[in-house]
Amino acid sequence: MDELKIFNKLKKIPVFTLNDFKKVVRTTYAKSALSHLVKKKIVFHIIKGRYTVYDDPFIIAPFIYKSSYIGSYSALYYHGLITQIPMNIICITGSPPKKIKVFDREIRYRHSKYIFGYEMIDYKGLKIPISSPEKAIIDSIGLVPLHVILEEINNINKDKLWLMAQRMPPPIKRRIAYIIFKTWGEVINIPTGRRIYLDPVGQKKGKFIKQFNIIDNVIL
């Protein structure tokens, strides 16, 4: 078994299964060959049925489960738009929510029906799905305090932010409309609906903004 040749082929597949491996090695002893490579630490076993040759959780995180991409504050940190170093990796996924630990790093998968707003970006020689800064802010609402992810809001593309917000549920859309008003002074007329907090996970007090029927509980 030419281990170097196999390794170079597997590098093109960030996360693979036994069936994927069989297509690479083309041998009836694929399972034994895979176990051998795992023992030699050429291949790493991530979770049941999933393997990789990479020891960087950021590379493999969006490929462990289908319809996933690096999002929220993980994407914002990648784009250089927050200073706080994330303790874990956030992936937005169409699969059920999960938490797993890979190489001593926690990966949190947050389920969403709104799988869009990401690009395949070059990262260490691979293309991995990473959220745009605008979608990362939208995906962060209700997940982390907004003051953490809005520190560089002036460097966000306002028009792109609103364009993406229009594909989201009304409460999210209204929060983004208010953030745009608060940051750039642009008024977007949308239905107000019931009274809500700007930050769902923020303190339960703040200034009431009648025009948006929002309680502003975020200090920027």
* Average of per-residue pLDDT across 131-137: 98
- pLDDT value of position 169: 96
Q: Same domain for 75 and 134?
A: yes
Domain shared by 41 and 132, yes or no? no
Do 22 and 91 reside in the same domain of the chain? no
Contacts of 174 (CB under 8 A, 6+ apart): 190, 191, 192, 193, 196, 212, 213, 214
Q: Give the integer Cα–Cα distance in Å for 15 and 49.
A: 10
Examine the fold and report which residue of 53, 77, 92 is the final residue of a domain before the chain moves on. Answer: 53
What pLDDT is attached to residue 1? 60
pLDDT at 27: 73
Judge if 37 and 84 occupy the same domain: no
Within this chain, do residues 37 and 104 fall inside the same structural domain, yes or no? no
Mean predicted confidence (pLDDT) in 62-88: 94
- Does one domain contain both 74 and 99? yes
Q: How far apart are CA 176 and CA 158, in angstroms?
A: 10
Average pLDDT over residues 114-142: 96
Q: Which residues of 170-186 are buried (b: 16+ CB within 10 A; e: fewer)?
A: ebbbbbbbbbbbbeeee
pLDDT band at 2 (very low <50, low <70, confident <90, very high): confident
**In the predicted model, what is the mean pLDDT of the chain?**
94
Q: Assign residue 34 the CATH number of its domain.
A: 1.10.10
pLDDT tens for each residue of 17-49 = 999 999 888 777 889 999 999 999 999 999 999
Same domain membership, residue 70 and residue 154? yes
Q: Let me know whether 66 and 101 are in one domain.
A: yes
Range of the domain at 81: 58-216
157 in the same domain as 70: yes
pLDDT band (50, 70, 90) for residue 208: very high
The whole model's pTM is what? Answer: 0.91
Residues 37, 78: one domain?
A: no
Please list the residues that pair with 51 across neighbouring strands: 16, 45
- pLDDT tens-digit series, residues 78-121: 999 999 889 999 999 999 999 999 998 999 999 999 999 999 99
Q: Into how many domains does the chain fold?
A: 2
Instruction: Tell me, yes or no, whether 22 and 82 share the same domain.
Output: no
124 and 179 co-located in one domain: yes
